[in-house]
Amino acid sequence: DVVLTQTPVAQPVTLGDQASISCRSSQSLVHSNGNTYLEWYLQKPGQSPQLLIFKVSNRFSGVPDRFIGSGSGSDFTLKISRVEPEDLGVYYCFQATHDPLTFGSGTKLEIK
């Protein structure tokens, strides 16, 4: 199975600053069709997860442009500029290139 390793486990941040989360895959996430199915989800406290980014860098409907996904192959990053209170929670990366589908273990974004 593909293992997604997220770092850091917890990211203390000052409101208004930038945060960066890394997701490294145990194998390339480039599908045979040329697409890279790497997604980012945010789970706010007490809520269901919500989709932020799909196919590495595409923002889902309604997601602010402060959220930027990047990367290729097996190395991916989510950057959140100008962190706001509503951005706090646990961020998960997820891959759908290889079966079975797998999630990273999560990164908690918290106030410093």
Partner 1 sequence: EVQILETGGGLVKPGGSLRLSCATSGFNFNDYFMHWVRQAPGNGLEWVAEVRNKNNNYATYYAASVKGRFTISRDDSKSSVYLQVSSLRAEDTAIYYCTRGQPGAWFAYWGQGTLVTVSS
Contact pick of 44, 55, 79, 82 for partner 1 (by CB under 8 A): 55
Rg value, the chain, Cα: 13
Residues 28 and 41: their CA atoms lie apart, in Å, by 20
Candidates 8-16, 22-30, 35-43, 77-85; binding stretch for partner 1 (CB under 8 A): 35-43
Site for partner 1 in 69-98 (CB under 8 A): 90, 92, 94, 96
Find, among 45, 15, 36, 47, the residue nearest to 93 by Cα: 36
* Residue 87, token pair as written in the block: 């951005």
Rule CB under 8 A: which residues touch partner 1? 35, 37, 39, 41, 43, 48-51, 54-55, 58, 60, 90, 92, 94, 96, 99-106
